[in-house]
């Protein structure tokens, strides 16, 4: 199973978003390692749940940033996130039914995410950066000392 690498082409240049993407990629790779390493179903199931929780959190965070930035294709982007969330739940069901999920990991997780990062996420970045430049308190969650319109609590 091919693992996903967060190479330069995926880096958007917004620290908190890159950090969340990196976490997501690491979590997908943990699932791949656990699955191909033959770890227990309980462990794999736990890693899948963690990955799903983080993906859902990240999508909400990103949509919030897009809304604040006035990104005009928010609805379409949301649709893409919803589609992924639906596929993930199908993926979880298949895993719980004992099906072979290797193709799903490659096709759904790795391909979808690479494609989404490269095309969809890169599209909102310019406007988001403009917004963040006007709201420096939101620029980097790790340096935030003042209140900011974005909810970073789960991002840290």
What does the binding site for Fe ion look like in residue numbers (CB under 5 A)?
62, 121
User: Whose Cβ is closer to Fe ion: residue 32's or residue 128's?
Assistant: 128
Q: Helix 41-69 crosses helix 122-134 at what angle (to 10 degrees)?
A: 60
State the Cα–Cα distance between residues 11 and 155, nearest whole angstrom.
17
User: Whose Cβ is closer to Fe ion: residue 19's or residue 43's?
Assistant: 19
- Residue 77 CB, nearest distance to Fe ion (Å)? 6
User: Whose Cβ is closer to Fe ion: residue 73's or residue 139's?
Assistant: 73
- Residue 93 CB, nearest distance to Fe ion (Å)? 23
User: Whose Cβ is closer to Fe ion: residue 62's or residue 101's?
Assistant: 62
**Closest CB to Fe ion: residue number:** 121
State the Cα–Cα distance between residues 106 and 154, nearest whole angstrom.
28
b/e code 19-36 from CB counts within 10 Å (16+ = b) = bbbebbbebbbbbbebbe
- Residue 59 CB, nearest distance to Fe ion (Å)? 6
């Amino acid at each position: 199973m091919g693992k996903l690498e967060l190479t330069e082409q995926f880096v958007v240049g917004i620290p908190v978003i890159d950090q969340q993407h990196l976490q997501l990629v690491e979590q997908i790779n943990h699932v791949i390692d656990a699955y191909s390493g033959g770890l227990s179903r309980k462990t794999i199931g736990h890693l899948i749940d963690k990955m799903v929780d983080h993906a859902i959190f990240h999508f909400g965070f990103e949509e919030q940033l897009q809304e604040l930035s006035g990104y005009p294709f928010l609805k379409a982007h949301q649709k893409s996130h919803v589609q992924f969330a639906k596929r993930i739940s199908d993926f979880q069901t298949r895993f719980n039914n004992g099906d072979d999920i290797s193709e799903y990991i490659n096709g759904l997780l790795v391909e979808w995410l690479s494609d989404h990062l490269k095309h969809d996420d890169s599209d909102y970045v310019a406007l988001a950066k403009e917004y963040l430049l006007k709201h420096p308190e939101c620029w980097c969650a790790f340096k935030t000392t003042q209140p900011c319109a974005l909810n970073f609590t789960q991002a840290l």
